[in-house]
Structure formats: structure tokens, C-alpha cells
Chains A and B, each alone.
Chain A
Amino acid sequence: MEYKPIRKVVSGNYAAAYAVKHARVQVVAAYPITPQTSIIEKIAEFIANGEVENLQYVPVESEHSAMAATIGASATGARAFTATSAQGLALMHEMLHWASGARLPIVMVDVNRAMAPPWSVWDDQTDSLAQRDTGWMQFYAENNQEVYDGVLMAFKIAETVNVPAMVVESAFILSHTYDVVEMIPQELVDEFLPLRKPLYDLADFEREPFSVGALATPADYYEFRYKLAKAHEEAKEVIRKVGQEFGERFGRDYSQMIETYRTEDADFVFMGMGSLMGTVKQAVDLLREEGYKVGAAKVRWFRPFPKEELYELARNVDGIAVLDRNYSFGMEGILFTEAKGALYNTDAKPLMKNYIVGLGGRDFTVNDVRKIAENMKAIIEKGELDVEVEWYHLKR
């Protein structure tokens, strides 16, 4: 069948819901939280309208239970999905470890929202990044199209390596903003994403009785962790291959774990994740016209972390401005720490500066990128940093 995309104007959240539908997810267990709610509302609507078959919807009483129910479903062989945001994700934390430890290829959408207090419903990456060490893969979407594509790819990748995956989109900027999304006809999604073949299935009564998640003594626990670590390493290749296949079939290539934009001859680049990179790309075009030799590096997959691609990028530029819409208290922006750490034992030593931007939904504009560019240019010319971490928007 020839690929003819179906164009729909949808919000990021609806894009996620359509991807869930097209992926033929079998169980959705979820709990509402702004700004995630419209994802699960849309899915409920699909069921109510008879637009999906064999989709069980479990309206649980909390996010902790949402993840627990999703885990139960996935362990029983079903393709399972949930979605949440901020406080909900934090409440799930314990169960995120359970999902990865039990090697369940669950896919979840997290709508990036700032953690309270003070209450904020707006964009901020600290909620998802605080889940860094739970063993989940993390994909950051720049726009609604990437939310849709991300969910479909995440299922395929997760089910190949038996590791759960989080697709992250930003509050309101994507979740509630409408844009054209090219959707894939169902038959082609089915080809790309065939029925799940579970690693194990609690409903399998032909084999010897078995248990999952039992106590492991010090003689065995270590190897379980190693296997999960290996799976993340293997996932990198799978991600690149699936991303390439996606590009070949549907015209949007995701084979790079770090998407580079006009970086070939760049003196310095802006690096970041998620929706703010759309703004950055636009700024790069303008700055190029103004004579700045700049590029953008969008980290698509934060876990597993694409060290190799970062190295390739870093050894060819003089500076990297890391834009973090998040913060690790007592340290610095989280992507900044990761990127610096990944390069430490290499010969790539660009000047790296951390800009904390847009926390709690504070606007981040093309003009802001320009100011950062001016600052970066100055410090590169001088050959030394003014400060390592700058709270860019601070009202003084």
C-alpha cells in the first residue's frame, strides 16, 4: 500500500490519543491531571463511539494505581498505555521502577508540567527528568507531529528491547495547541507495529508455573540490573534503526538520537530538548542571516543518552549553549550535567554554558535565543566562561 498521509489539525494531546488508537493499544489505565486530561478523554471518546475494538479502559483512583494497573495489563501480554503529568508522574515514581524492573514495554505520555509548590500547570521538564534513573527510555517531542510519531515508535522500540518508554510533550505549548499532524493509515501502522509478542505472559498456562518480580538475593540481583543496563545500550541501535525505518516508510527520519540543525559549519550550537527547540531552530535561521555561524542540536532521546552523537557534535564546535527548562537543585540544569559528563573522557572540549530558561512556562522567544547567542559569542571570543550557569530570565 502506498503511503498517503491523513492530515488532521489536532492538539498534541489528541495526536497522542490518535497514536494510541492507531497502535491498537489494548489497555489504558489512567487518572486525570491538567494538562494531560484531554489525552484520556479522547481515548474514552474513541471507545464510546465504537472507533476502537478490544480496548479496555480502566478509570483508576490514582496515578500510582494507573501505573500499577498498566503494569498488570502489560505483564498479562497486553499492549498498555497511560499518560500523566507532574504530580501524577511523581506519585507513579515507585511503579516506574516496577515497570522497567519487570521488563514491561509500557508506553506513557508525560505532559511536562512544573512541580508544585507553587502550583503551576505550565511547561517545565523537571517532572520527567526527575524520573531519569527509573530505567525508562525518554523521548522528547518538539511538536505535535513528533508526539504522534513518538508514541508509535516508542511502542516498537519498547517491545523490541522490553524496556518501558516515556514520550514527553510540553504543557499547553504542545498539549493544547492545534497544528497539522500527518497521520498514518491504519493498515500501514499495523505493518509497522505488528501485534506485541510479550517476553512472558501471565496468561500462559502451558508452561511451568512461574513468578515475576520475586526476591533476588545478592547472588542474582546484580545481573538483573546488568541486563537492564544492556537493554538500554541495545536500545540505541534499535532506536536508530526504527527511526530510519520510520523515515523510509513515512518520510520523517528519526534515525538521529540528537537531531542536528545547521550544525555542519557552526561555531557554536544551542542544545536542548522538546518544544523550545522549535523556537531555537527559527532563531538559528535568523541568526544565520545576521552572520552568526550557529546551529541547533535537539536531544530527542534523553534515555538512553546518545553519547556517541554528542561526541560527534561536540568535537566540531567551539561552544555549546545548553538550554535547560529544568533544574537539579544543588547542581545545575540536568541536560547540562549529562552532556558535560558524557564528554569528560573524550577529546571534545567545547566551551559549555548552561542557560536555565522558561521554568514554569515562562516564555522563551527567538529574541531570547539571540541574547544567548550574543553572550555565547562573547565568551567564545574571550575563551572563558563568565558564569557556568545563568538563570536567564531572572527578574533582578
Chain B
Amino acid sequence: MEIPEQIKKKLTLPAEEHFYAGHTACQGCGASLGLRYVLKAYGRKTIFAIPACCSTIIAGAWPYNTLGANLFHTAFETTGAVLGGIEAALKARGIKVKGEDGVMVVGWAGDGGTADIGLQALSGFLERGHDAVYIMYDNEAYMNTGIQRSGSTPYGAWTTNTPGGKRHFLEKRHKKKVIDIVIAHQIPYAATASVAYPEDFIRKLKTAQKTPGPSFIQLFAPCPTGWRSPTDKSIEIARLAVQTAYFPLFEYKDGKYRINMPNPKKEPKPIEEFLKYQGRFKYMTKEDIQILQEWVNREWERLKKLAEVFG
């Protein structure tokens, strides 16, 4: 579709669309938005590796492909390893990888495929230094199999295998800090991003493109189906996750931390703000909310310290 000039001028995102209509995501799906932005940033010369997850479905059943890029569907735990193989093949064949005109090799995996079953392959990928970008879209549970907990599920969340009830059995552990595990590999570039802040996300994708070696982006991607939230609230929830410092935006580049909050001067909002539209948190007691708030405070203070000391 041709975009009129006057609209183009106002756009803060690349105008090109490489994410086609006809995809099969639920309404309000954060992951599908994420894919759209990745394609805007990288375009046609991209090879995706996508493991078992909701995006397997979003990208379409055979013979369709809703992504305007080449896509290899792979096994749940293999994203990091497949990326390594694709990159090695490109190099062996003398094809340019990464950079402005090179082929972008992109892993796109859910939180489960990254934080849990795929962690080993992710670690190997990071440690070997492949020229590829690994994006974990974080919807905080296994959605494809029907909303079960993952290592990235937050404290107090209902899922189908941590149900709420009389005995009050909810997720009892705090969200695994995958990004910290990633940074411990001392890779050149790692960042968090959110579908509520697409300009920031695309800027980070571009940084990853320019940075040689492996990059990692953890993208906050609401899932109305699994979060029991209204389909028109996904962006608002994603924004609140940042504003409450539940999911702060930051970058780690060459050993340095930089926080990229939209309003750096503002104190974070209380965590209740983030919880309010989401049915998955409705079983939480006052004490539970307090426990989560304390975790958020602690982690936020820690991040600020890191940025201060290693900024």
C-alpha cells in the first residue's frame, strides 16, 4: 500500500510493512506487534528462526507465511543453536551477515523457549559469539500450550498449572531475570524493550544490527488471552509495566548500563497500577501485592545502582 507523503512525514516508525495481513494471533496480541516492528527494522533480508510457541501459529500454517522474511520453524529448545548454524552457513558461503546491508539472522522465541527449555542453547549461542540477534518476547507464560507457568512468570500470577483457589496456590517465585543471565555472558549488547514503546524497540533493534556479535533483546509482549485482560488494554498494560518499574527499559552495551525510561525524573507508579486490568492477578492478597512491590523496588534500586556505577 502506498503511504501518502503527509502521513509519512509524521511517522516515527519505518513505513514499510513486512508483516502481512491474515496472521492468526489473538486480538491485542503483543507478540504479533513485536514481529511487525522487527520486520520494519530489518526488512526482507532477514532469516527468522522460530521455535515452538505462539508465533509458530501467528506466522501461519503451511503453505502460508505471514512474515515478509524467510522463516525456519524449529524445535522448542533449539533457537540459539539454529541461529549458530544459519550464521555459520552464511559465513561459509561468503554471504555478508549483519550490518546495514548484511543478512539479519533473528531468533524469535517466547519466554519459555528462552528462560526454560532453551536456556542451554541460548547460553551456547551467546558464549560462542555468533553474529545474530536473539529476541525473547516475554508474555510471562507458556501460551501456546494453554497458559502454564514459565521461569518468567511473575510472583502471584495465576496460570493453569499454578491456579488460584481456596488453598491459594499461585506462582510463588519471582520472575527469572533472564537479562541478567544473558549479561553474565558478557556479550556486546543486551536490552529490554516493550511493545508500548516501538521507537525505543526499533532503535534497539538497529543498535543490535550495527553491533557485531550476539545481541539479545527481551521484549515485553502482553497476552490478553493468558493475562485475562481486555484486548484493547495491551498497550496500556505494557506501558504501566514500564511506568511501575515492573519491567524497566534499559540497555547494556560494552559493559555499560543505561536506563531508558520515558520519564526518567518520575518516581515509579505503585505496582497495583500494573496489576489492575489483569485477571491473572486477581487472586493476589494484600500481602502478595506487597511482596511483589518489594521485589520491584529492590530490582529497580539494583538497576539504578548498576547504571550509576557502570553507566
Chain A residues proximal to chain B, CB less than 8 Å: 26-27, 29, 54-56, 58-62, 64-66, 68-78, 80, 94-95, 98, 102, 202-205, 209-217, 220
A76-B85, A203-B47, A220-B62 as given contacts; A55 in contact with B72, CB under 8 Å = no
Contact between A209 and B67 (Cβ–Cβ < 8 Å)?
A: yes
Contact between B73 and A212 (Cβ–Cβ < 8 Å)?
A: yes
Contact between A71 and B82 (Cβ–Cβ < 8 Å)?
A: yes
Q: Name B79-99 residues within 8 Å CB distance of A.
A: 80-86, 88-95
Chain B residues proximal to chain A, CB less than 8 Å: 18, 44-45, 47, 49, 56-57, 59-65, 67-75, 77-78, 80-86, 88-95, 103, 120-121, 123-124, 127-128
Which of A74, A94, A209, A214 contacts B70 (CB under 8 A)? A209
Contact between A65 and B90 (Cβ–Cβ < 8 Å)?
A: no
A73-B86, A213-B73 as given contacts; A61 in contact with B121, CB under 8 Å = yes
Contact between B120 and A72 (Cβ–Cβ < 8 Å)?
A: no
Which of A65, A66, A205, A211 contacts B120 (CB under 8 A)? A65
A68-B121, A72-B82, A94-B75 as given contacts; A214 in contact with B90, CB under 8 Å = no
Contact between B44 and A211 (Cβ–Cβ < 8 Å)?
A: no
Contact between B74 and A56 (Cβ–Cβ < 8 Å)?
A: no
Query: How far does the alpha carbon of A71 sit from the alpha carbon of B72 in the complex, in Å?
Result: 10
Q: Which 8 A-B pairs have the closest CB atoms?
A: A72-B85, A69-B85, A76-B89, A65-B81, A61-B124, A213-B73, A78-B89, A68-B78
Contact between B81 and A211 (Cβ–Cβ < 8 Å)?
A: no
Contact between A214 and B86 (Cβ–Cβ < 8 Å)?
A: no
B67: A residues at CB distance < 8 A: 209, 211
How many whole Å from A91's CB to the nearest CB in chain B?
A: 11
Query: How far does the alpha carbon of A209 sit from the alpha carbon of B69 in the complex, in Å?
Result: 5
Contact between B47 and A215 (Cβ–Cβ < 8 Å)?
A: no
Which of A54, A72, A216 contacts B61 (CB under 8 A)? A216
Query: How far does the alpha carbon of A257 sit from the alpha carbon of B72 in the complex, in Å?
Result: 34
Contact between B92 and A55 (Cβ–Cβ < 8 Å)?
A: yes
How many whole Å from A67's CB to the nearest CB in chain B?
A: 8
Query: How far does the alpha carbon of A215 sit from the alpha carbon of B150 in the complex, in Å?
Result: 23
B59: A residues at CB distance < 8 A: 211, 214
Query: How far does the alpha carbon of A98 sit from the alpha carbon of B49 in the complex, in Å?
Result: 14
A211-B71, A213-B72 as given contacts; A69 in contact with B93, CB under 8 Å = no
A98: B residues at CB distance < 8 A: 74-75
Contact between B72 and A64 (Cβ–Cβ < 8 Å)?
A: no
Residue of B62, B80, B91 most packed against chain A (CB within 10 A): B62
Contact between A73 and B81 (Cβ–Cβ < 8 Å)?
A: no
Contact between B92 and A29 (Cβ–Cβ < 8 Å)?
A: no
Query: How far does the alpha carbon of A294 sit from the alpha carbon of B260 in the complex, in Å?
Result: 81
Beyond A26-B93, A209-B69, 15 additional contacts (C-beta under 8 Å) are A27-B89, A60-B81, A60-B84, A62-B124, A64-B78, A72-B74, A73-B85, A73-B92, A74-B89, A77-B93, A102-B72, A209-B65, A209-B68, A214-B59, A215-B56
Residue of A nearest to B80 (CB): A65
